[in-house]
Amino acid sequence: MKRGEIYEGTVERVDYPNKGIVRVRDEEEQVIVKNVIPGQKVRFVINKSKAGRKEGRLLEVTEKSPSEADRTLCSAFPDCGGCIYQTMSYPDQLEMKAGQIKRLLDSASDHPYEFEGIAKSPDRFGYRNKMEYSFGDDRPGGPLTLGLHRKASTYDVLTCTDCVIVHPDFNVIVDAVLRCFAENPLPYFHKIRHEGYLRHLLLRRSASYGDILVHIVTTGDKEYEKQFDEEAFRDMILELEKSGRLSGHISGIMHIINDSLADIVRSDETRILFGKDYFMEKVLGLDFKVSSFSFFQTNTRGAEVLYDTARNYIGDTRDKNVFDLYSGTGTIAQILAPACRKVTGVEIVEETVESARYNAKLNGLTNCDFIAGDVLKVLDDLTDKPDFIVLDPPRDGIHPKALPKIIDYKVDNIVYISCKATSLARDLKVLQEGGYRLVRAKCIDLFPDSQHVETVVLLRGEKVDSYVSIDLDVKELDRKKVKR
Ligand code: SAH
């Protein structure tokens, strides 16, 4: 099999998160083809061949998989890369994701452990409580679009007003905002030329109360600003609720000015055009204030299943000091607080830490302490010692230099919640070298139709005498087997 040659084969399995393993009849070798479904017959071209590892680019699905359900798909499928498994039946998606994570953990774990399968998302559709849409076009010079990026494209934006994973209210709002700017044209912000006005539409919705936050994000261009009628925009959004087109209600409308060159949603200035820039969410009986930019799990009901699983893995924390590292709005910390001595949360985003403190007060919890800062640095300054550690890092996992510091606390048990299992598998190797072993693992599907899945694991220390030294060089850690 050589580069540039075209083959046809059957997808034997898909490894996490989207690596299809395709076998070609009469050929010994397997080829990795991304964005396919187990059981599909596919035609692909070999585009990489290195050290016995071959990769192919999908050209065509020649035969559907038996897993593919007959259902109405959203109009942006498959060009939008958001839901690559949208054609697959939900039970098959769950089985595939559980198998992917089990294979990853099996190869990373040096001990037998209990794999407890996967929990489904309580809401199969419309589960997302937050979405960031971009303004753009779907071809150079085309009409204004508002939606998600075309798969593997930095520039093309596809309008999507029938997305099945966001709350249906979002589709109504996207459609209305797009119409509004079709009638009152304003240019989108061009990422190369750095000119234009409209950047993003950020929508958030409380699953518990139906409160909706609408954020229109623009540049600060003074000329275009004169043409943007903030009041008319506000009234247009409020009219959606008045006319009964939304099931929730508009809680806040914000105009965010963002002049940064990076393609991220952030604020240089926030103008509240209506209401307030936060809403309340209820999770496992506790109240949480969620502000425009603070982290909150995007599938609220799914997050309850996740936190409940984590609580079950954590077990009895009576009289214990718990560290909740990467604590976000303090959800896990506050779920644990009533049943332990003290919880210390560490979170890098200041605004999120403020929300966590506010939430703890709101819930009448006095034994939570939230520290703003990088886990890597904060651990050096903390005088408290934990009896239990909960880790819930972002997608990249834990900084390699923070891991030895965590190991050095020598707590008996650690619960690690991961939104990217390959990062978990990498960190697990270091934790194992530090004397921990994997005991239990369970997946929770917070993201039906997409390639993502959450994993919760329980790790137990082996009570070794010497752990990894705190100031151990990371490269050294890679090279040397750590002395136990
Ligand atoms: N446990 C929380 C949040 C988990 S998401 C919840 O379930 O709601 C991961 C969080 O880690 C995010 O809030 C992110 O802002 C934070 N974070 C990312 N890098 C960090 C770092 N180096 N130190 C501390 N917090 C960090």
Q: Pairing between strand 269-275 and 198-205?
A: unpaired
Predicted confidence at residue 479, as pLDDT, reads: 36
Q: How far is the CA of 360 from the centre of ligand 1 (A)?
A: 17
Quote the mean pLDDT of the chain. 92
Mean pLDDT of 391-416: 97
Q: Decide: 46 and 5 in contact? Cβ < 8 Å.
A: yes
Residue 333 has pLDDT above 50, yes or no: yes
Among 348, 382, 395, say which to mutate for ligand 1: greatest number of ligand atoms within 8 Å of CB. Answer: 348
Residue nearest to atom 8 of ligand 1 (CA): 328
Q: What is the dihedral of CA 435, 438, 443, 449, to 10 degrees?
A: 70
Using the mean position of ligand 1's atoms as its centre, give its distance from the Cα of residue 48 in Å. 36
Say what the pLDDT of residue 477 is. 38
Dist. CA 387–CA 317, nearest whole Å: 9
Nearest by Cα to 411 from 334, 338, 345, 320: 320
Residue 19 has pLDDT above 60, yes or no: yes
Residues 154, 475: contact at Cβ < 8 Å?
Answer: no
CATH architecture of 94-122+283-479: 3-Layer(aba) Sandwich (3.40)
**What atom in ligand 1 is closest to the CA of residue 399?**
22
User: Mean pLDDT, to the nearest integer, of 257-274?
Assistant: 87
Domain with CATH 2.40.50.140 in the chain: 6-66
What pLDDT score was predicted for residue 351? 86
Index of the ligand 1 atom closest to the CA of residue 393: 9
pLDDT over 80 at 363, yes or no: yes
Amino acid at 395: R
Q: Whose CA is nearest to atom 5 of ligand 1?
A: 394
Instruction: Give the contacts of 442 (CB within 8 A, at least 6 positions apart).
Output: 115, 116, 117, 118, 119, 309, 313, 455, 456, 457
What's the mean pLDDT in 220-242? 97
Pocket test for ligand 1, best of 291, 314, 327, 331 (most atoms within 8 A of CB): 327
- Summarize the confidence of residues 215-228 as an average pLDDT: 97
Q: How far apart are CA 353 and CA 130, in angstroms?
A: 19
Helical pair 230-242 and 168-183, crossing angle rounded to 10 deg: 140
Cα angle 455, 461, 462; round to 5: 140
Q: Is the pLDDT of residue 484 over 50?
A: no
Q: Do 479 and 452 form a contact (C-beta atoms < 8 A)?
A: no
Comma-separated ranges of CATH 2.40.50.1070 domains in the chain? 130-277
Residue 397 CA to residue 425 CA, distance in Å, equals: 9
Q: Quick check: 424 and 393 in contact, CB under 8 A? A: no
Q: What is the pLDDT of residue 474?
A: 38
- Looking at the chain, which residues constitute the CATH 3.40.50.150 domain(s)? 94-122+283-479
pLDDT mean over 51-62: 92
pLDDT tens digits for range 429-467: 999 999 999 999 999 999 999 999 999 999 999 854 333
Quick check: 186 and 228 in contact, CB under 8 A?
yes
Nearest residue by C-alpha to atom 11 in ligand 1? 326
Which residue in 74, 80, 160, 419 is the catalytic one? 419
Nearest CA to ligand 1 atom 16: 326
Rounded average pLDDT over 364-377: 97
Among 316, 331, 317, 325, smallest CA distance to 286 is for: 331
Give the pLDDT score at 478. 37
CA 311, CA 326: separation in Å to the nearest integer? 16
Going from the C-alpha of 170 to that of each of 180, 271, 385, the distances in angstroms are 15, 21, 45
- What is the best residue among 306, 326, 332, 444 to mutate for testing ligand 1's pocket, by most ligand atoms within 8 Å of CB? 326
Residues touching ligand 1 (Cβ under 6 Å) are 295, 297, 326-329, 331-332, 346-349, 352, 374-376, 392-394
Determine if residue 423 is left, alpha or beta; phi over 0 gives left, psi from -120 to 50 gives alpha, anything else beta: alpha
Q: Which ligand 1 atom sits closest to the C-alpha of 306?
A: 7
Higher pLDDT among residues 459 and 476, named by residue? 459
pLDDT of res. 475: 39
Span 270-283, pLDDT tens digits: 999 999 999 999 99
Ligand 1 centroid to 327 CA: how many Å? 5
Which residue in the block uniquely carries the two structure tokens 């190797």?
429
Q: Is 213 exposed, middle or buried (0-12, 13-18, 19+ CB in 10 A)?
A: buried
Measured distance CA(129)–CA(169) in Å, rounded: 10
Query: Could you tell which of 347, 380, 403, 423 is best to mutate to test the pocket of ligand 1, judged by most ligand atoms within 8 Å of the CB?
Result: 347
**Per-residue pLDDT averaged across 181-203, rounded?**
94
Q: Which CATH number fits domain 130-277: 3.30.300.30, 2.40.50.1070, 3.90.1150.10, 3.90.226.10?
A: 2.40.50.1070
Cis geometry, peptide bond prior to residue 78 (ω within 30 degrees of 0)? yes
Instruction: Give the least confident one: 123-137, 259-273, 293-307.
Output: 259-273
Q: Residue 129 corresponds to which tokens in the numbers above?
A: 């409580």
Reply yes or no on whether the pLDDT at 169 is more than 90. yes
Q: How far is the CA of 346 from the centre of ligand 1 (A)?
A: 8
- Nearest C-alpha to atom 12 of ligand 1 is from which residue? 328
Does the structure show a pLDDT above 50 at 472? Answer: no
> Sorting pLDDT into bands at 50, 70 and 90, what band is 154?
confident
Cα 265 to ligand 1 centre (Å) = 17
Nearest atom in ligand 1 to 390's CA: 1
Which is the closest atom of ligand 1 to the Cα of 296?
8
pLDDT at position 256 over 50? yes
- 419 classed as catalytic: yes
Which 8-state DSSP code applies to residue 193? Answer: T
CB contact set of 189 (below 8 Å; sequence gap of 6+): 135, 195, 196, 197, 198, 199, 218, 219
Q: Say which CATH topology domain 6-66 has.
A: OB fold (Dihydrolipoamide Acetyltransferase, E2P) (2.40.50)
Q: Distance, CA 389 to ligand 1 centroid (Å)?
A: 14
Strand order from edge to edge, sheet including 454-461: 114-119, 436-444, 454-461, 413-418, 388-391, 321-325, 342-347, 368-372
* pLDDT band with cut points at 50, 70 and 90 for residue 191: confident
